[in-house]
């Protein structure tokens, strides 16, 4: 059994973090129980807490890794060709990892908490600046790019896009405007 294997705190921490991203993407900050994260990671609930201190710090770590991954995808796309059209064509890579956009959305929702809000403003600003600088786009163009991303993010949360989308008329009409998805 894998649960019998002893790992270093760093390795186990990474596994717990991955489980946390999955759990938070499904249920949000308040809605996710540390118990559920522990179950997904195959460890006990108190150990999750000891590895990260508090549930809040674990959420912050999840937001950090998710935003870092989003930036990584944009960087790779820009390496292919540094313009917004190319980055846009790579939106399907974000949709292929639905946890990314979902954790992002839940982080917006949790921004009422001052500590989380500070982190989220920082990270989202970092994504905005990265996109603008990678492509040399104007603020207006970057805004339109991110706007489309936010609509896709909300549609992901509504489960009308992504894996196993719930079919509904208006969503299918919208999806078609994005081209083949």
> Of DNA, its own copies, none, which one does residue 46 interact with (CB within 5 to 8 Å by kind)?
DNA
Dihedral angle over CA of 123, 129, 132, 136, nearest 10: -150
Q: Is residue 2 within the footprint of DNA (CB under 7 A)?
A: no
**Using rule CB under 8 A, residue 121 touches its own copies:** yes
115 binds DNA (CB under 7 A): no
Helices (H), the chain: 9-31, 34-41, 45-52, 55-80, 84-89, 91-95, 98-109, 114-135, 139-157, 169-177
Candidates 47, 51, 42; CA nearest to 13 is: 51
Spatial distance between the Cα atoms of 89 and 165, rounded to a whole number of angstroms? 20
**Closer to its own copies at the Cβ: 44 or 172?**
172
Stretch 9-48 residues interacting with DNA (CB under 7 A): 9-10, 12, 32-35, 42-47
Residue 82 · residue 129 · CB < 8 Å: no
Min dist. Cβ of residue 98 to DNA (A):
22
Q: Is 54 in the site for DNA (CB under 7 A)?
A: yes
Q: Is 124 a binder of its own copies (CB under 8 A)?
A: yes
The residue (of 29 and 91) whose beta carbon lies closer to DNA is 29
Question: Counting contacts by CB under 7 A, is residue 1 touching DNA?
Answer: no
Residue 55 contacts which entry, its own copies, DNA, none (Cβ below 5-8 A, type-dependent):
DNA
Tracing tokens 């959305």 back to the chain, one arrives at: 105
Interface with DNA, residue 170, by CB under 7 A = no
As a whole number of Å, the end-to-end CA separation of the chain is 39
> Hey, is 156 helix, strand or coil?
helix
Question: What contacts 32, CB < 8 A, 6 or more positions away?
Answer: 20, 23, 24, 26
- Which spans of this chain sit near its own copies (rule: CB under 8 A)? 26-31, 105-106, 108-112, 117, 120-121, 124-125, 128-129, 139-140, 143-144, 146-148, 150-151, 153-154, 157-160, 166, 168-171, 173-174, 176-178
């Amino acid at each position: 059994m894998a649960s019998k294997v002893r790992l270093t705190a760093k390795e186990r921490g990474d596994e717990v973090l991955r489980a946390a991203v999955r759990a938070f993407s499904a249920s949000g900050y308040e809605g996710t129980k540390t118990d559920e994260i522990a179950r997904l990671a195959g460890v006990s609930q108190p150990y999750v807490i000891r590895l990260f201190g508090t549930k809040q710090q674990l959420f912050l770590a999840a937001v950090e890794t998710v935003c870092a991954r989003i930036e990584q995808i944009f960087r790779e796309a820009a390496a292919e060709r540094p313009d917004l059209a190319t980055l846009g064509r790579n939106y399907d890579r974000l949709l292929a990892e639905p946890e990314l956009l979902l954790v992002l959305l839940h982080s917006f929702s949790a921004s009422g908490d001052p500590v989380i809000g500070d982190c989220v403003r920082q990270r989202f600003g970092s994504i905005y600046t990265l996109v603008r600088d990678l492509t040399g786009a104007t603020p207006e163009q970057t805004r339109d790019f991110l706007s489309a991303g936010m609509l896709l993010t909300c549609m992901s949360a509504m489960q009308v896009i992504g894996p196993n989308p719930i079919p509904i008329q208006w969503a299918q009409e919208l999806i078609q405007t994005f081209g083949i998805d």
